[in-house]
Amino acid sequence: MPHPNWAQVGLATRVVVVDETGRVYDRTGVGVEVHIQDDGLTLKVFVTPMPEEQAKVARLAQLQNFVEDIETYKNQLKGQS
């Protein structure tokens, strides 16, 4: 299971919970706060409505990070050839 980039969790504007039956919870335009509790045995996710303007700013930050990740990946590929 991949480890999340915890620095980006606060930028998330969508929460999806998936179990063996598929998506059981899916919300967009929300704020996300994650807590690890009980000596690492419990992952608690707090989901709150996000004002429209704040959701737009958070989405823009996500897109900027995505573009930076693509550029980093492209540079890594160039170094391999």
Q: What tens digit of pLDDT does each residue of 11-41 get?
A: 778 888 999 999 999 888 888 888 889 998 9
Output the six-digit token pair for 17: 């919970």
Segments making up each domain of the chain, as ranges: 7-80
CA-wise closest residue to 59 among 29, 25, 27, 15: 29
Q: Residue 55: what residue type? A: A
pTM value > 0.75: no
User: Looking at the predicted structure, is the pLDDT value of residue 81 above 80?
Assistant: no
DSSP assignment, residue 13? Answer: -
